[in-house]
Amino acid sequence: MVDALVILDGATDPEPSTLSEAEMPALRRLRDGGSTEWVELLDPGVPVGSETAIASLLGWRPTGPVDRALVEAAARGSEGPVRRVDLDGGHRLLVFGDATLESEAITRTWPPGAQPPRILDRGTVIIGAPGAATGLGALMGARIVVPPGATGRPRSDLAGKRRATIDAIRGGATRVVVHVGGADAAAHDRDRSAKIAVLEAADRTLIGPLADEIGRLTVCADHGCDPATGRHLGGLVPMVRWSAA
């Protein structure tokens, strides 16, 4: 049977948590009929971010920072309009567009870090917007699918991700990983109600239908993100495992 994992990025936060406030009947059904384990995805001292925590979920536990610029570039296709510019001290710019360096839209600088190893195969399909999950998947050897309308933002098209998941399974995938970035993005925006809305939409549009379709599902957060501060939180994250059989 296919291994299916839904990652709710940045989903945990301090009590009373958005996860406990959100109406999530499908996740409750999975919890009641399955098991919940609180897991530590990151070792002490490792930066708390999706590029480290999702790497750990995919089977490679980083011992320090991960090269996020490399990950972001890989998510957008190394041959595409995104490229990296190496700077002093190992920092990198991620550059969009094909204009000269002076006039390019420079989105961000990222600290140096490790390159993820190629330990996955094409039987693993990562579904999400261009970002940490899909970039890690590409670098680690998985197949990545970016459905139209997937943005990683609160209004991302989750139904498109559901359809892409079913298509991947029908196409022979042995493991599917669906990434939902909107809860983390809403928390960074310090918008608690938007975070709750993303969690509820994920429950309704992804978690329930995928559990019914596949008969087996794991749901977890990669790390926390506090909508009061807009900052990431480390520590334990819940992993709910459920199987119909």
Q: What angle do CA 226, 232, 237 make, to 5 degrees?
A: 85
Q: Which is nearer to Zn ion, 10 or 208 (CB)?
A: 10
Q: Which is nearer to Zn ion, 137 or 227 (CB)?
A: 227
The rounded distance, in Å, linking the Cα atoms of 135 and 164 is: 17
Task: State which of positions 110-169 bind Zn ion (CB under 5 A).
Answer: none
Q: Which is nearer to Zn ion, 72 or 184 (CB)?
A: 184
Quick one: which segment of 32-40, 66-74, 182-190, 200-208 binds Zn ion (CB under 5 A)?
Answer: 182-190
Q: Which one of 13, 51, 67, 184 is in contact with Zn ion (CB under 5 A)?
A: 184
- Nearest approach in angstroms of CB 86 to Zn ion is 24
Q: Which is nearer to Zn ion, 177 or 187 (CB)?
A: 187
Q: What angle do CA 64, 89, 62 make, to 5 degrees?
A: 10
Quick one: which segment of 78-86, 178-186, 195-203, 212-220 binds Zn ion (CB under 5 A)?
Answer: 178-186
Task: Decide: 37 and 239 in contact? Cβ < 8 Å.
Answer: yes
Q: Are strands 124-127 and 92-96 parallel, antiparallel or unpaired?
A: unpaired
Tell me which DSSP letter residue 17 carries. Answer: P
Query: What SS3 string covers 43-64?
Result: CCCCCCCHHHHHHHHCCCCCCC
DSSP string, 82-118: EEEEE-GGG-EEEEESSS-GGGSEEEEEE---BPPP-
Q: How many residues bind Zn ion (CB under 5 A)?
A: 1
Quick one: which segment of 134-142, 143-151, 176-184, 194-202 binds Zn ion (CB under 5 A)?
Answer: 176-184
Q: Which is nearer to Zn ion, 203 or 222 (CB)?
A: 222
Quick one: which segment of 17-25, 27-35, 118-126, 179-187 binds Zn ion (CB under 5 A)?
Answer: 179-187
- Interface with Zn ion (CB under 5 A): 184
